Amino acid sequence: MPSPSILLSVVIPVYNEGAGVLDVLRAVEPPLRACAPSHEILFVDDGSQDDTWAFIRQVCDDRTGVRGIRLTRNFGKEAALWAGLAQARGQAVLVMDGDLQHPPALIPRMIELWQQTGVEVVEAIKMDRGNEKLLHRLGARAFYTLMNRLSGFGLERSSDFKLLDRRAVDQLLRLEERNLFFRGLVAWMGFERLQIPFSVPERAQGRSKWSFPKLAAFFTRSITSFSTLPLQLITLAGLLFLVFALVLGTKVFVQWWMGQAVEGFTTVILLLEIIGSLLMLSLGVIGLYLARIYEEVKRRPRSVIRETLPRSPSLPAASEAAPTDAAGLP
């Protein structure tokens, strides 16, 4: 629901950022005041267990133009982001992290590019990945190389720091899938994208919310929602084993025909093990896709909103707010 009076909405998903909310607000307000005087800032609290919501409440009370959306529990960054996108009213929406790893100093340039060119997506591209652990860095490289091969979208340097024109936002909100991968879906939409490079600074405070299980889940979810190649690889492996089976079968048959006893108990054990693991791996891959289909067909909302601030007539109060889909669907 765009509003002609609001030029820009800034959506910031936060999870256990505590007083970091104040730091972000202090950092984004000056560039916004200068370049987009009519703006709103939306903090989406993704079920924080600390005092994040108390800080959001405080800034919503103190300032006009700051809004808060509180989800009932931790639904994950992408779901929080979608909840924010669905509530944003600006003609464009700027999406950024709440840990100051997306430098607010880029905001004026992003707005300027959007206004001058009318392009649907202005995105900040990572020149380096900041001070990440070696394992994290290697994992990220493997993930993006695979994603690039599988989906054809080069996302290696891509970040979630993006300015989306209303057309792009509406298009994103029309997507019905529950498994969301923001960067991938923005690339998938195919709109023209202008890119601005930036270096990732250190986190202002707190720690990255990515744990290994969360990363692993994100990895499989992103791959399976963008490519069916792993499924085709199973067919390929099956074909290879068929050829192998034919050759080996012929050999065994000829030996039997010539009256030779078939030898090679070790070979049999080895073959059993190889085929057994391959079968189970293949079942696992099919299972991953099945799980995705299961999640999608349930059509559950992506997140549930507990409370929105400020409580004004234009926004339903918490008690009246039916649990809505992040896309605004009942």
Going by DSSP bridges, is the β-strand pair 305-309/193-199 parallel, antiparallel, or unpaired? unpaired
211 makes contact, choosing from Mg ion, ligand UDP, none, with CB < 5 to 8 Å by partner type, with none
Residue 109 CB contacts under 8 Å (≥ 6 apart), including other chains: 196
Asked if residue 231 lies in contact with residue 285, where contact means CB atoms within 8 angstroms, the answer is: yes
307 makes contact, choosing from ligand UDP, Mg ion, none, with CB < 5 to 8 Å by partner type, with none
**Least Å from the CB of residue 98 to ligand UDP:** 3
Beta carbon nearer to Mg ion, 160 or 307: 160
104 makes contact, choosing from Mg ion, ligand UDP, none, with CB < 5 to 8 Å by partner type, with none
The DSSP string of 254-310 is HHHHTTPPP--HHHHHHHHHHHHHHHHHHHHHHHHHHHHHHHHHHT--S--EEEEES
15 makes contact, choosing from ligand UDP, Mg ion, none, with CB < 5 to 8 Å by partner type, with ligand UDP
State how far Cα 110 lies from the chain centre.
21
Beta carbon nearer to ligand UDP, 17 or 165: 17
Beta carbon nearer to ligand UDP, 9 or 91: 9
Q: Which residues bind Mg ion (CB under 5 A)?
A: 99, 101
Beta carbon nearer to Mg ion, 119 or 215: 215
In angstroms, the CA 158 to CA 181 distance is: 12
Beta carbon nearer to ligand UDP, 7 or 305: 305
**Least Å from the CB of residue 236 to ligand UDP:** 34
**Least Å from the CB of residue 132 to ligand UDP:** 8
Asked if residue 279 lies in contact with residue 273, where contact means CB atoms within 8 angstroms, the answer is: no
Q: Cα dihedral sign for 9, 178, 77, 151?
A: negative
Among 47, 59, 60, 57, which Cα is nearest to 16's?
47
* First-to-final CA distance of the chain: 15
Beta carbon nearer to ligand UDP, 7 or 186: 186
77 makes contact, choosing from Mg ion, ligand UDP, none, with CB < 5 to 8 Å by partner type, with ligand UDP
In angstroms, the CA 98 to CA 185 distance is: 21
**Least Å from the CB of residue 44 to ligand UDP:** 7
**Least Å from the CB of residue 8 to ligand UDP:** 19
3-state secondary structure of 74: coil
**Least Å from the CB of residue 300 to ligand UDP:** 17
Q: Which residues bind ligand UDP (CB under 6 A)?
A: 13-15, 17, 46, 74, 76-77, 80, 97-99, 101, 208-210
Torsion of CA 290, 295, 298, 302, to 10 degrees: -170
Asked if residue 90 lies in contact with residue 166, where contact means CB atoms within 8 angstroms, the answer is: yes
In angstroms, the CA 175 to CA 291 distance is: 19
253 makes contact, choosing from Mg ion, ligand UDP, none, with CB < 5 to 8 Å by partner type, with none
Beta carbon nearer to ligand UDP, 50 or 61: 50
**Least Å from the CB of residue 113 to Mg ion:** 24
Beta carbon nearer to ligand UDP, 48 or 91: 48
**Least Å from the CB of residue 202 to Mg ion:** 9
